[in-house]
Amino acid sequence: MTLFDKLDKILIQGNSWKTILGGLWITIQISLFALILGTILGALICFLRTRKNPVARTIAKVYIAVLRGTPVLMLLLLLYYGVFVRAGLTSVTVAVITFALNVSAHIAELLRSAFEAADKGQAEAARTLGFSAWDAFRLVTFPQVLRIAKPVYQSTIVNLIQWTSVVGYITITDLTRVINNTASRTMQPLLTIAIGMLIYLALSYIVFGIFALTDRFSKRGGDEG
């Protein structure tokens, strides 16, 4: 069997490329919604984590410790087969919740470290110049936080996409599951998995590309400004 025959069997015959794209779309959906929800939650946890109130701080600390310190697959199984078993939620919804919870802990920490790295002197200077606390945050601190957090946030997104590859455990046919199904059907696991890896790699590069584009736009915006 030549490489062409194998590729034909894996990608072309019976329109299997459509099924692979279907799996990819599920992976994108879960990653995207988990990212949006996780970023909102992460910002909230970061807000609590940086409060002076010890109760709020402890809650945030425990939240981050538990979610960052446990395997996301265990959390996925626990939520799907345990906590939400009677809730009537679809498996994709449970996956989005799980990955949002997990990624929110990482985002909370990356935001906190970005806040700590931002130049506090500049915010104080803005305040002495008559800026309100909100304006000093919005116009001085926040843009710095964004710039510092961006590279780590980008890696977190790529990690998130890869973590979602375990959703097959809760009955979801994502990209990994489709690749596994194809490997079982064609009995050519190595080549099929290599193709799967290339698709994940392409997805990661799209994320990097989007960030590179935003960099270019912000630079252009800066130049024009």
Partner 1 sequence: MKKTISKMIIATMAISLLAGCSGPAAGGQSGAASKAAAASTEGVYMFGILSYLNMTEDDMALIMDGRKPAIKYLSEQGVAKYNMTDQGTIKVKFYDTLESIIMGLEAGDIESTELPKCTADYLVAHNDKLEVKLSYNMDKADDFAKSVVNHLGVGFSFLVKEDNKALCEELDKAISEMKKDGTLSKLVKDHINEGVFTEPKPIEFEKTSGDTLKIAVTGALPPMDYVAPDGSFAGFNTGLCAELGKRLKKNIELIQVDSMGRAAALASGKVDAVFWTAGQNGNTSAEEDERFEKSGTEEQKKVIESLKSVSSREKDEKKDRPGGTITTQPYYSDQFNVVGKK
Binding site for partner 1 (CB under 8 A): 1-3, 6, 13-16, 18-19, 22, 77, 80-82, 85, 168-171, 173, 177-178, 180-191, 193-194, 197-198, 201
Measured from the CB of residue 206, what is the shortest distance to partner 1 in angstroms?
Answer: 14
User: What is the amino acid identity at position 212?
Assistant: A
Secondary structure, 3-state, the chain: CCHHHHHHHHHHHHHHHHHHHHHHHHHHHHHHHHHHHHHHHHHHHHHHHCCCCHHHHHHHHHHHHHHHHCCHHHHHHHHHHHHCCCCCCCHHHHHHHHHHHHHHHHHHHHHHHHHHHCCHHHHHHHHHCCCCHHHHHHHHHHHHHHHHHHHHHHHHHHHHHHHHHHHHHHCCCCHHHHHHHHHHHHCCHHHHHHHHHHHHHHHHHHHHHHHHHHHHHHHHHHHHC
Measured from the CB of residue 6, what is the shortest distance to partner 1 in angstroms?
Answer: 6
Measured from the CB of residue 159, what is the shortest distance to partner 1 in angstroms?
Answer: 18
Q: Which is nearer to partner 1, 38 or 196 (CB)?
A: 196
Q: Which is nearer to partner 1, 51 or 219 (CB)?
A: 219
Q: Which is nearer to partner 1, 62 or 212 (CB)?
A: 212
Length of the chain: 225
Count Cβ atoms within 10 A of the Cβ of residue 187 and give its class: 0-12 exposed, 13-18 middle, 19 or more buried.
Answer: exposed
Measured from the CB of residue 4, what is the shortest distance to partner 1 in angstroms?
Answer: 9
Q: Which is nearer to partner 1, 43 or 78 (CB)?
A: 78
Q: Which is nearer to partner 1, 13 or 122 (CB)?
A: 13
Measured from the CB of residue 168, what is the shortest distance to partner 1 in angstroms?
Answer: 5
Measured from the CB of residue 216, what is the shortest distance to partner 1 in angstroms?
Answer: 15
Q: Which is nearer to partner 1, 120 or 219 (CB)?
A: 219
